[in-house]
Amino acid sequence: MVSPSAANVVTSVARRLNGDVVTVTISRPSKLNSLNVSLLELFTNTIQELPQRYPNLMAVVITGEGSKAFVVGADVSEISMVDTPAAARQFITKFHLAFKSIRECPAPVIGRINGYALGAGLAIAASCDFRVASSNAVFGMPEVWFLNFPLCILWSRINLGLIVNRCALGYQAWLNQPYFLG
C-alpha cells in the first residue's frame, strides 16, 4: 500500500535517551510528518519496545521533526489507495494500534506539539498523558471535510461538547483559544 513516490521520501522514527527520558521523533519533514503505513508501523513498534529496551524508563516525549508540523495526519496518497472495506479496516486498525501503544506505555507520555497536529496527529497528541504545545501549534480534524468522522480516541480524551462543536464542524483550534483546553 506504499505509493511509488513514498519510496523517495526519507522517513524515520528516532529515539534519543536523556537520562531516563526517551524522546521519540517522527521524521518525515518533507511531507510535514504525515504518516504512511511503514512510518506508522515503525512508530508503533518503537513505542511498544521502549519498556523492554529501557527498563528504567521514567518518561517518553513524542514530537515531530521541524517546527512546521507535529504530525499532519495520514498520508493522503495512501488513503486514496484504500479501496475496499477490508482495506479500510486494516488501514484504520494500524492507526488505532499506534494510539493504543501510547496509551498503554507504562511510563508517562508527553506530546511536545510543534506546528500542525491534524487528524491522526491530533489523535497521537490526545493519546499522550500530557501535552505541551508551542505557540504555533494548530489542532484540527480535516477528515470531516471528506465526510469521515474524527477518530474515536478523541471521545475519551477531550470534552464531548468541544469535539462536536469544533471538530465536527471542521474548525481548527489554535492553542490560545480557551475552548480547546481539555
Q: Is residue 155 part of a domain?
A: no
Q: Give me the chain's average pLDDT, please.
A: 80
Query: Between the ranges 27-36, 70-79, 155-164, where is the mean pLDDT highest?
Result: 27-36
For 172-180, what is the mean pLDDT?
A: 49
Number of structural domains in the chain:
1
pLDDT of 125 reads 92
pLDDT of 179 reads 43
Q: Is residue 148 part of a domain?
A: no
Collect contacts of 15-22 with beta carbons under 8 A, ≥24 apart: 15/46, 15/50, 17/54, 19/58, 20/54, 20/56, 20/57, 20/58, 20/59, 21/57, 21/58, 21/59, 21/60, 21/61, 22/50, 22/54, 22/57, 22/59, 22/60, 22/61
Residue with cell 474524527: 150
The one-letter amino acid code at 104 reads: E
Q: Which domain holds residue 8?
A: 4-141
Q: Is residue 161 part of a domain?
A: no
CATH value at residue 56: 3.90.226.10
Q: 68-118 pLDDT, tens per residue?
A: 999 999 998 887 788 888 888 888 899 999 999 999 999 999 999 999 999
Pick the residue with more confidence: 157 or 48? 48
